[in-house]
Amino acid sequence: MPYVTTKDGTEIYYKDWGDKKGPVVLFSHGWPLNSDNWENQMFFLANHGCRVVAHDRRGHGRSSPAWDGHDMDTWSDDLLTLVEHLDLKDMVMVGHSTGGGEVARFIGRHGTSRVSKAVLVSAVPPIMIKTDTNPEGLPKEVFDGFREAMTKDRAQFFLDVPSGPFFGFNRPNAETSQGLIWSWWQQGMVASFKAAYESIKVFSETDFREDLKKANIPVLVLHGDDDQVVPIGASAHNTVKLLPKGTLKVYPGAPHALPNICAGQVNQDLLEFLRS
């Protein structure tokens, strides 16, 4: 399996599919998942002539179960190591949920010399937690509850999340997919406990407002207006105001898991944005 080693010795697993001479699309996954969650989009774009690359964040999937480095700066540095290893240029960066934060921090920390466009899907920026400067955010007690539930019984918590708000399966008349639930559970359970636990603080408390202001490239923001995990009012609506060249597309009635529940539409939107 392909790996790249970071400066602290962490091995980062990655997939590199499609036409190596095609347009480059780099994917960043959400919590507590891995690159497998992007396979629908990767398969689709690779079959449309793209080179698609996705990694498992440190402590997730097939990457090293690192004890340290679970913060946005380290994650963006890990991603830069991969980008430089593959010498990716003129790439479109795509991030879902926590991965959207990773994309924002990569741009804010490492610039856009290798990035032509970006897509933030159900993404956590600008900042999730409620603060004096972010009164629309979610109370810290929400994320304390996540940590408590995970410490008490991670296996059950990682069934409850996909069975309910993540895919929107808790909504009346929702068409439930047991396969998606178990796929989420499997991806979550192979993440190291420490990485998954510490990532809750990272995705909820990291402030991306200055990163978004530095994104001097076209950025497409995709978000469902029934997102129960990252509510659109405190995320996408505020994100697009901070982006110099941002465009928001709202998916009516859609949940947090746009790459899964709305895979066909997301695929088309990515392809159109890539070709625009």
Structure confidence at residue 202 (pLDDT): 98
Structure confidence at residue 264 (pLDDT): 98
Annotation says 70 is catalytic: no
Annotation says 256 is catalytic: yes
The residue annotated as part of the active site, out of 36, 96, 256, 269, is 256
Q: What averages of pLDDT result for each successive group of 10 residues across the chain (276 residues)?
A: 94 98 98 98 98 98 96 98 98 98 98 98 97 92 96 98 98 96 98 98 98 98 98 96 98 98 98 96
Structure confidence at residue 211 (pLDDT): 98
Annotation says 227 is catalytic: yes
Structure confidence at residue 26 (pLDDT): 98
| DSSP letters spanning the chain | --EEE-TTS-EEEEEEEE-TTS-EEEEE--TT--GGGGHHHHHHHHTTT-EEEEEPPTTSTTS---SS--SHHHHHHHHHHHHHHHT--SEEEEEETHHHHHHHHHHHHH-STTEEEEEEES---S--B-BTTBTTSBPHHHHHHHHHHHHHHHHHHHHHHHHTTTTTTTSTT----HHHHHHHHHHHHHS-HHHHHHHHHHHHH---HHHHHT--S-EEEEEETT-SSS-GGGTHHHHHHH-TTEEEEEETT--S-HHHHTHHHHHHHHHHHHH-
Structure confidence at residue 70 (pLDDT): 98
Structure confidence at residue 92 (pLDDT): 98
The residue annotated as part of the active site, out of 36, 77, 78, 227, is 227
Could you say which of 3.40.50.920, 2.30.30.40, 3.40.1580.10, 3.40.50.1820 is the CATH number of the domain covering 3-275?
Answer: 3.40.50.1820
The residue annotated as part of the active site, out of 97, 122, 192, 204, is 97
